[in-house]
């Protein structure tokens, strides 16, 4: 082959622009291929790193869509469902559980709506035992300390650990003492105003009952899981709040996964049932009126489960009891007897932050950190509408969700070592603090579990599902999560690979076209070479070599583009994928020598294939015709 090299090179050199364009075309195709294969390899590695970096093998969460769960487990987005924190104790009894740690993940929407602050409420001791890779960083750094002489905050150079884990502190529930002796323990989440039916009287004239309603100030308190016995409950109704704003009262039932049915009685006492599709519904709640006069809002789990008395009600999280002030005991000064531990929030909540979170937020140990976030808040508004039946204007009350801007303040006590995982961008606080601050009283998003023997996972899963008292839980092994995500990515990959395949076909046709054109242009020259003694094979090899040179150079250009542009490709894929869901934290485009060498040889194969036809055409030319064509 070497004897043609000089000639082939000179031929290509003569048509500089065309050769460059063709090389560029092949280069782009190869760059696409290299990037895609790099992504293919890198994504798997990054995902595996994420999964093995979890430290636990099994995650117990509230039941939901497995894809959603997979996303929640690894990235912390999507709509969250909660477990109650008594589940931890229940699961701990299982003989297969070696270690476990409860976790509450709270994604806070940034003020500008662009991304999240991911907070993890953790139990420091069990969490660090299960995930030893999460540890305080060390090295030369600056800390904020208070100068004892001036009382001012100053920077201090420190060489050593970057702070420490937060101190465990006791967080007490809020308490409301009722006149009837009941003490309601929970988390006070606000005050409200609500109407209480004080009595029903028969109107002798109309023969109808009229209700006496009275508005009361109330305190809203978030409660732990609790069973309300039949003896405590006065009545139960439901309320379906539509996204459009209307609230429909009645008995709320789920018809199926996508529809809710509300059965209500109209003024004449006739039963009326309406079905509402899930996508129109904002929330479905039950209202349980207690005999002591308070009202609990939540979702009834089951009224007739094993172990309960018929008629007892267990409410799922989140549930809120609304207690009117007239039910609350007063002290001698006439103050309501409410113990609100909210004061604890004012003392600085300690936070340990991930490496990246520290870098991007310019955070130092000892510093105060204020995060501005956007939250959705419910608000009741009154609206005048025209009643379609009577044609008269009437006022309805509706509950709407609107964004409110909130700020949370913490004290940074530690910065974590860089781990190349999503932990780098996370914020860690004590579980009870997280539950209180973010109003997720006694709630968890997941429980990380390490089993004594991972092979016994199916048995463990079965046992968890068979224990009804655990409610609607889901056991996800991280191996499954990985599989699920890889499945999702696989589908996308097939599509992308087809695009790459098309790019290669286009490059192949492009190269073939260029060489064929140059063969036709050089008909005479080829004829002369044959006339002075070149064989068919000589001509074939010469043209073939030209094609292979173009493709080999294209291969080099393409790999160089891909490798040096890799960080941009990574950014691009990350941007696209983060919109779709979960992206692993590590490097997702990873070029191995095999990929680079493989693609380079692939380009040569491309040259070998696309050169055959033009080379054959050139070799077949008869010298006499070739010479004549020049005349």
Partner 1 sequence: MGNNGYIIKAEALKKVYHLYAEEIVALKGINAAVKKGEFVSVMGPSGAGKTTFLNLVGCLDKHTEGRLEVLGSDLNSLNENQQRNMRLHHLGFVFQEFFLVKELTALENVQLPIIFADDYKNLGWAKHLLERVGLTKRMNHFPKELSGGEMQRVAVARALANKPDILLADEPTGNLDTKNAQGIYDLFRQLGKEESITIVAATHNVKLGYQADRVIHLREGSIEKDEVIVKF
Query: In Å, how far are 108, 242, 571 from 355, measured between CA atoms?
Result: 18, 42, 20
Q: Which of residues 38-67 bind partner 1 (CB under 8 A)?
A: none
Asked if residue 504 lies in contact with residue 606, where contact means CB atoms within 8 angstroms, the answer is yes
Q: Is 620 in the site for partner 1 (CB under 8 A)?
A: no
Nearer to partner 1, 13 or 140 (CB): 13
Q: Is 593 in the site for partner 1 (CB under 8 A)?
A: no
Least separation in angstroms between residue 621's CB and partner 1 is: 12
Q: Which of 534, 533, 496 is nearest to 618 (CA)?
A: 534
Is there binding between residue 258 and partner 1 (CB under 8 A)? no
Cα-based distances in Å from 417 to 103, 155, 157, 358, 420: 20, 21, 18, 11, 9
Burial of residue 298, with CB atoms counted within 10 A of its CB: 0-12 exposed, 13-18 middle, 19 or more buried: buried
Task: Confirm or reject binding of residue 17 to partner 1 (CB under 8 A).
Answer: no
Smallest separation (angstroms) from partner 1 to the CB of 7: 7
C-beta of 465 vs 520, nearer to partner 1: 520
Nearer to partner 1, 100 or 543 (CB): 543
Q: Which residue has the tokens 């492009």?
A: 510
- Closest CB 114 distance from partner 1, rounded Å: 58
Rounded Cα distance, 580 and 585, in Å: 15
Q: How far is the CB of 528 from partner 1 (least distance, A)?
A: 4
Please give the Cα distance from 447 to 476 (Å, whole number): 10
3-state secondary structure of 78: coil
Residue in 7, 239, 301, 339 binding partner 1, rule: CB under 8 A: 7
- To the nearest whole angstrom, how small is the minimum distance from the Cβ of residue 556 to partner 1? 23
In angstroms, give the least distance from the CB of 420 to partner 1.
54
DSSP 8-state assignment for residue 330: B
Instruction: Tell me: does residue 18 bind partner 1 (CB under 8 A).
Output: no
Residue 16 binds partner 1 (CB under 8 A)? no
Task: Decide if residue 378 touches partner 1 (CB under 8 A).
Answer: no
Please count the residues of this chain forming the interface with partner 1, following the rule CB under 8 A: 23
Please state the closest distance from residue 14 (CB atom) to partner 1, in A.
5
* Closest alpha carbon to 140 in 354, 420, 364, 413: 364
Where residue 307 falls (left for φ over 0; alpha for ψ -120 to 50; beta otherwise) is: left
Closer CB to partner 1, 323 or 619, in the complex: 619
Answer for the pair 446, 73: CB distance below 8 angstroms, yes or no.
Answer: yes
**Nearest distance from residue 5's CB to partner 1, in Å?**
11
Does position 389 interact with partner 1 (CB under 8 A)? The reply is no
Q: Annotate 131-167 with three-state secondary structure.
A: CCCCCECEEEEEEEEECCCCCCEEEEEEEEECECCCC
Cβ closest to partner 1, residue 11 vs residue 218: 11
Report the nearest approach of partner 1 to the CB of residue 10 (Å): 4
Q: Tell me if 3 contacts partner 1 by CB under 8 A.
A: yes
Q: Output the CA torsion sign for 113, 117, 118, 120.
A: negative
Q: Is 565 in the site for partner 1 (CB under 8 A)?
A: no
CA-nearest of 457, 479, 460 to 470 is: 460
d(CA 8, CA 616): 16
- Nearest approach in angstroms of CB 630 to partner 1 is 7
Is residue 519 within 8 A of residue 612, CB to CB? The reply is no
Least distance to partner 1, CB of residue 536, Å? 7
Q: Is 213 in the site for partner 1 (CB under 8 A)?
A: no
Judge contact between 147 and 184, C-beta under 8 A: no
Longest Cα pair distance anywhere in the chain, in angstroms? Answer: 126
14 sits near partner 1 (criterion: CB under 8 A):
yes
What string marks each residue from 516 to 545 as x (binds partner 1 by CB under 8 A) or -? --------xx--xxxxxxxxx-x-------
Residues in region 63-102 near partner 1 by CB under 8 A? none
- Of 82-90, 185-193, 420-428, 620-628: span binding partner 1 (CB under 8 A): 620-628
Among 10, 214, 368, 394, binds partner 1 (CB under 8 A): 10
Q: Which is nearer to partner 1, 565 or 623 (CB)?
A: 623
- Kindly report the number of other CB atoms within 10 A of residue 449's CB atom: 26
Binding site for partner 1 (CB under 8 A): 3, 6-7, 10-11, 13-14, 524-525, 528-536, 538, 623-624, 627, 630
């Amino acid at each position: 082959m070497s004897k043609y090299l000089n000639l082939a090179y000179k031929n290509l050199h003569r048509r500089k622009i065309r050769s460059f364009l063709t090389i560029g075309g092949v280069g782009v195709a190869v760059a696409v291929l290299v990037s895609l294969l790099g992504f293919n390899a890198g994504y798997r590695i990054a995902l595996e790193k994420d999964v093995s970096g979890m430290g636990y093998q099994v995650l117990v969460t509230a039941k939901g869509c497995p894809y959603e769960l997979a996303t929640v487990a690894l990235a912390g987005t999507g709509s969250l469902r909660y477990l109650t924190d008594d589940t931890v104790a229940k699961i701990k009894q299982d003989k297969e559980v070696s270690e476990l740690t409860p976790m509450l993940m709270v994604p806070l929407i940034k003020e500008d709506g662009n991304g999240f602050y991911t907070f993890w409420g953790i139990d420091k001791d069990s969490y660090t035992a299960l995930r030893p890779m999460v540890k305080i960083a060390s090295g030369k750094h600056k800390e904020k300390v208070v100068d004892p002489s001036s009382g001012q905050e100053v920077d201090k150079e420190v060489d050593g650990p970057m702070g420490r884990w937060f101190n465990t502190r006791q967080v007490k529930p809020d308490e409301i003492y009722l006149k009837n002796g009941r003490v309601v323990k929970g988390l006070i989440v606000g005050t409200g105003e609500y109407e209480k039916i004080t009595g029903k009287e028969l109107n002798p004239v109309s023969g109808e009952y009229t209700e006496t309603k009275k508005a009361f100030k109330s305190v809203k308190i978030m409660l732990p899981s609790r069973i309300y016995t039949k003896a405590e409950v006065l009545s139960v109704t439901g309320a379906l709040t539509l996204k459009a704003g209307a609230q429909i009262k009645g008995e709320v039932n789920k018809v199926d996964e996508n529809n809710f049915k509300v059965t209500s009685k109209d003024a004449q006492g006739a039963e009326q049932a309406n079905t509402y599709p899930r996508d129109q519904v904002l929330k479905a709640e039950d209202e349980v009126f207690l005999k002591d006069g308070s009202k609990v809002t939540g979702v009834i789990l089951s009224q007739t489960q094993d172990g309960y008395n018929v008629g007892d009600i267990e409410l799922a999280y989140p549930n809120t009891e609304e207690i009117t002030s007239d039910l609350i005991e007063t002290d001698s000064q006439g103050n309501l007897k409410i113990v609100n531990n909210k004061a604890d929030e004012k003392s600085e909540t300690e936070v340990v932050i991930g490496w990246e979170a520290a870098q991007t937020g310019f955070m130092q140990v000892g510093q105060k950190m204020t995060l501005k976030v956007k939250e959705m808040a419910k608000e009741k508004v009154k609206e005048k509408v025209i009643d379609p039946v009577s044609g008269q204007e009437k006022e309805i009350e509706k509950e709407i969700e609107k964004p409110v801007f909130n700020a949370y303040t913490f004290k940074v006590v530690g910065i974590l070592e860089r781990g190349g995982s999503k932990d780098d961008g996370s914020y860690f606080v004590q579980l009870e603090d997280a539950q209180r601050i973010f109003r997720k009283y006694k709630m968890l998003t997941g429980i990380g579990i390490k089993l004594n023997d991972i092979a016994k996972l199916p048995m463990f899963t079965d046992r968890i599902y068979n224990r009804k008292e655990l409610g609607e839980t889901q056991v996800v092994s991280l191996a499954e999560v990985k599989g699920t995500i890889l499945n999702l990515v696989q589908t996308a990959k097939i599509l992308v690979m087809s695009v790459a395949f098309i790019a290669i076909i286009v490059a192949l046709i492009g190269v073939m076209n260029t060489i064929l054109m140059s063969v036709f242009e050089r008909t005479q020259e080829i004829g002369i070479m044959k006339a002075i003694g070149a064989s068919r094979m000589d001509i074939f090899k010469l043209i073939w070599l030209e094609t292979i040179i173009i493709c080999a150079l294209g291969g080099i250009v393409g790999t160089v583009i891909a490798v040096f542009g890799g960080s941009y490709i990574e950014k691009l894929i990350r941007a696209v994928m983060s919109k779709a869901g979960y992206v692993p934290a590590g490097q997702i485009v990873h070029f191995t020598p095999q990929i680079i060498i493989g693609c380079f040889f692939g380009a040569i194969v491309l040259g070998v294939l696309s050169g055959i036809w033009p080379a054959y055409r050139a070799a077949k030319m008869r010298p006499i015709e070739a010479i004549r064509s020049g005349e």
